Structure 1
Amino acid sequence: MLRERDPGLRSRLSGTRSAEPRPPRVAPILLSALLLSIVAVLALGVGRYDVSFPRVVQILLAQVTGAGTDGSTEANVVALVRLPRVLLALLVGGGLAIAGAALQATFRNPLVSPEIIGVSAGASLGGALALLLGLGSVLLVGSAFAFGMAALGVLFAVTVSRHGTPMLMVVLGGVVTGSLFSALVSLVTYLADPYTELPAIVFWLLGSVATATFAKVGIALVPILGGTVLLLLLRWRINVLSLGDEDAASLGVRPGVLRWVVLSASALVVAGAVAVSGVVSWVGLVIPHLARMWVGPDHRILLPVSFGLGAAYLIVVDTLARSVTAGEVPLGVLTALIGAPVFLLLLRHHRDRIWDRA
C-alpha cells in the first residue's frame, strides 16, 4: 500500500506499475535511435577525406550484404578506418550516458556521474600501469578493465556491513576509493620515463578512440552491452529506487540489493568504456540531464534515450576531434570544454526543474 505521507508518490509512479500500467512512450526512443543513425552515417563521411552521403550508404550496404569493399580509397577509409572508430565512440558514449542516468537515480542526486564510484580511477590505474610496463594493447585493455572492477570490489568491501549500507557511506566510499586510485595514477606518471612512457600515459588518460579497431570494438561490446542490457531490464525498479528506500521497500523492492546490482552493472559499463578509450568525462553527467529535460524522469524511456543521445554526442565530438585540427585532440578535453559550459547553463536556466520532475 502506497504511503499517503507522499501525495506525489502515486503520480510519480504513474506509468511504472499500477493496476493498469501505462506503456512507455516509444516515440522519443525511436527519435533518439533515428538521430543516432543519421549522426553515425554522416560521421563516416566527414573528415580530411570527405565522402558523400550516398557513397557512404553504398559502402555500408556492401558491408552488410557481404560484398566487401571495392578496394577504392573511399571504401577503405569508410569501412576500415572510420567505421570501427564510430562504433567504438557509439559504445563508449552510450554506455557512459546510461550509466550516469542510472547512478543519478540510484543516489537520488543530479550531480552524480560515473566517476563517483571510483571505477574510472581504478581503470585509469590499470591502463597507466600497462603503459608503464610496456604491455601490449590487449593487456592494456584487460588491465584497465580488471582494475576498474577491482575498484568496485574495494568499495563493496569498505561499505557493506550486516546492518545495511547507508547511501552516504557508498558516496563517501566511492570518493575515497577514487582518490586512492587517482593518487596511484599520479605515482605511476611520476615514475614514468618523461620522454617515452609519460606522453603515452597522459594522452591515454585524456581519452581517445583514435586507436579503434574491430577487435577493440568486440572487446568493448561485451561489458558495455552486458551492463546496458542489465540496466534496461531493471528500468522499472530504478524508477522505484529513485523514490527512496522506504517507498521502494513498501513496493516490494529490496533497495540495498538493487542498489548494488545497479552499481555493479554501471561499473561494468564504465570499466569497459575506460578500458578501450581512456577517461572521457562529463558525458555521464550532462547527457542524462538533457535526456531528462526531453522525456521526463521515467527510466523506462530515460535510459534508452540517454544511451542514444550519449552515443550520438560522442560520435559528434570525436568527429570534431579528428577534423578541426591537423592533430588529434583528445576526447576528454573536448567533452570537458563542451560539457562544463553546457552544464552551467542548465543549472542557471533550469535549476528549479531539472530534478524536481523526478
Structure 2
Amino acid sequence: MIHQLKKLFLLVVLPLLVLLLSLLVGSSQNIGFVELCQRIGSEVGIYIGDYNAVLKDNMDTILWQVRLPRILLTFMVGAALASSGGILQAIFRNPIVDPFTLGISSGSAFGAALAMLFPLLSVNLSAFLFGVCAVGLTYFVSNAGLKTSIIGMVLAGMVISGVFTAMLTLLQYISDPYKLQAIVQWTMGNLHTASWSKVQHAFLPITIGLGILILLRWKLNLLALGDQEAIAVGVNPKILKLVFIAVATMITASAVAAVGMISLFGLIVPHISRMIFGPNNNIIVWANISIGGTFLLLIDDFSRAVMPFEIPIGVFTMIIGAPLFIYLMRRNEINWNS
C-alpha cells in the first residue's frame, strides 16, 4: 500500500503540484500565491479578494501568455529527453547511452544553426530534418552487411555526433556577431523564448512519440533480455529496435528544435527513475515522462529565481547533472546488474 502511494505521489501528485507552483515563479514578483488564488477563484466564481488595480490588467498576460506556455513546453521537453534516453539505454542495454549517442542532438543543433545563418527553412524544421539525418547516417555507417551490432551503432553515433559538432563550430566561426550570439544562446538551451507557437509545434510529435512508447513499453523488457529471448517469444528485435529508435529520434529532434540543446538530461533522469522504481520498463516509461518533466521544470524554476537575469537552462542541467552522475557512479547505483 505504501509503495503504491509512493508511485501515485511521484508520478501524478508531484508533477501537478510543481506545474501549479511554477506559475508563481517569474520576473514579475507582484504575482504570488494570493494573486493566483484570486485569479483562479474569479474563474470558478469564488470570491477570495480584490485584485490590485494595476496588476489586474497584466495578470492574464503574465500568467497565461508568458508563464504557462513556458511551463508546458519545459515539461514536454523534459519528458521527451528523459524518455528518449530511457529508450536508448533499454534497447542498447548500455547505461551510458543518451540522445547524444546516436547524433540526434548534435544533428538537430547543426540544423538549427544552419537555419539561423541561412534562413531557407524554419529553425524547427531544419533541426528536425538534420536530427533524422544524423540517425540515418549512424545506422548506415554501422550497418555491416545484414547485421548491425549494438557496439558498432554506438561507436558510429559518437563519430557522427562529433562530425555534426565540428560543423556546428564551423558555422559559429563564419557567422557574424549577432547571429553567433543567437546560435550560442540556442545551443545552451533557450526556454526564455517559449511561446504558444512553440508549444503547438512540439506538442504533436512529442505526444505521438510518447503515446507509441507507452503502448509498446512492455516490449522494451523483451529487448532488454537480448535478441534471442525476444525472437523466442515471437518478436522481431530488429524491426522493434528501428521503431523505438525512430520514436526516440522524433521526440528528441522535436525537443531540441523547440528549445535548443540541454546536455546530460537524457542520461541522468533514466538512472534516477530506475533507482526509484527498479528495472521494469512498464513503470520506468511512465516514470521517465513524469520525473523528466518535473525535474526539468524544477531546474527551470531555479534558473529563473536564483538571479535577476536569466541563465540558460543548459548551464544548470550540466552543473546539476555532472555532480549527480558522479555521485551515482560513486554509489554504484548505475550498475545494471541489480
If the length of structure 2 is used for normalisation, what is the TM-score? Answer: 0.90
Query: Structure 1 pair 142/248, CA: closer, same or farther in 2 (3 Å)?
Result: same
The answer to whether structure 1 residue 345 and structure 2 residue 327 are counterparts is yes
The answer to whether structure 1 residue 284 and structure 2 residue 270 are counterparts is no
Question: What residue identity is the alignment partner of 1:149?
Answer: V
The answer to whether structure 1 residue 36 and structure 2 residue 15 are counterparts is yes
The answer to whether structure 1 residue 144 and structure 2 residue 123 are counterparts is no
Question: What residue identity is the alignment partner of 2:261?
Answer: V
- The residue that corresponds to 2:277 in the other structure is 295
Deviation at 1:248, TM superposition (A): 1.6
Deviation at 1:186, TM superposition (A): 1.0
- How many residue pairs get matched? 327
The answer to whether structure 1 residue 72 and structure 2 residue 57 are counterparts is yes
What secondary structure is seen at the aligned counterpart in 1 of 2:28?
coil
Q: How does 1:150-229 map to 2 (within 5 A)?
A: 150-160=133-143, 162-193=145-176, 195-229=177-211
- Deviation string 1:235-278 (CA, Å, 9 cap, x unpaired) is 11101101111222222221111111111100101000000110
- 1: CA distance between counterparts of 2:109 and 2:229? 37
- Deviation string 1:203-255 (CA, Å, 9 cap, x unpaired) is 10111211111111010111211111111111111011011112222222211
Does the aligned pair in 1 maintain the 2:26–2:67 contact within 8 Å?
no
- The residue that corresponds to 2:225 in the other structure is 243
Question: What residue identity is the alignment partner of 2:94?
Answer: N
Unpaired runs of 5+ residues, structure 2, are: 46-54
Does the aligned pair in 2 maintain the 1:94–1:309 contact within 8 Å?
yes
Question: What residue identity is the alignment partner of 1:75?
Answer: D
Deviation at 1:71, TM superposition (A): 5.3
- 2: CA distance between counterparts of 1:222 and 1:62? 32
Range moving further from structure 2, 221-230 or 266-275: 221-230
What secondary structure is seen at the aligned counterpart in 2 of 1:146?
helix
Higher helix share: 2
- 2: CA distance between counterparts of 1:303 and 1:146? 26
What secondary structure is seen at the aligned counterpart in 1 of 2:139?
helix
- The residue that corresponds to 1:304 in the other structure is 286
Q: 1:89 aligns with which of 64, 68, 74?
A: 74
What secondary structure is seen at the aligned counterpart in 1 of 2:309?
coil
RMSD between aligned residues: 2.4
The answer to whether structure 1 residue 130 and structure 2 residue 110 are counterparts is no
The sequence identity of aligned pairs, in percent, is 37
